[in-house]
Amino acid sequence: MTGWISFPRSVAARLDNQTGNPGELRIQTIVQEMRGIPFYLLKEYLQELGGALVSENRVCGEGWCVSLEAMEPYRIGSLEVGQTRLTMELEEGVAEDFQQRFFKKTLRAGG
């Protein structure tokens, strides 16, 4: 699920010059479910991307915040794989760069 949400300046408390509207900040929210990467490792990757742990399950960096939620393991027969739901809130100016850097961190090759 991806979409852009505009927040009034009083809510966002920032000015985003790229929106063309001086009173709004555009935030993209992406919800992604990931399998096979441990919960603790995803938090570590987000910190390596410049984020700081602001609560047990939330990491924020400049222009972005990601909330992590542990899910029930994905089961295939007798095998179990851990799952995590990430809710990414990205300012328009950093969204593309953040997604590319996060993708590189979480890329896994088969073998």
pLDDT in tens, 34-62: 998 999 999 999 999 999 999 999 999 99
Give the residue with greater pLDDT, 22 vs 32.
32
Q: Which region among 11-25, 36-50, 57-71 has the lowest average model confidence (pLDDT)?
A: 11-25
Residue 14, Cα to own-chain centre: how many angstroms? 20
pLDDT digits (tens, 9 = 90+) for 74-90: 998 999 999 999 999 99
For residue 21, what pLDDT band results from cuts at 50, 70 and 90?
low
Closest by CA to 86, choosing from 96, 11, 45, is: 45
CATH of 31-106, one of 3.40.50.970, 3.40.50.300, 3.30.1370.80, 3.30.420.40: 3.30.1370.80
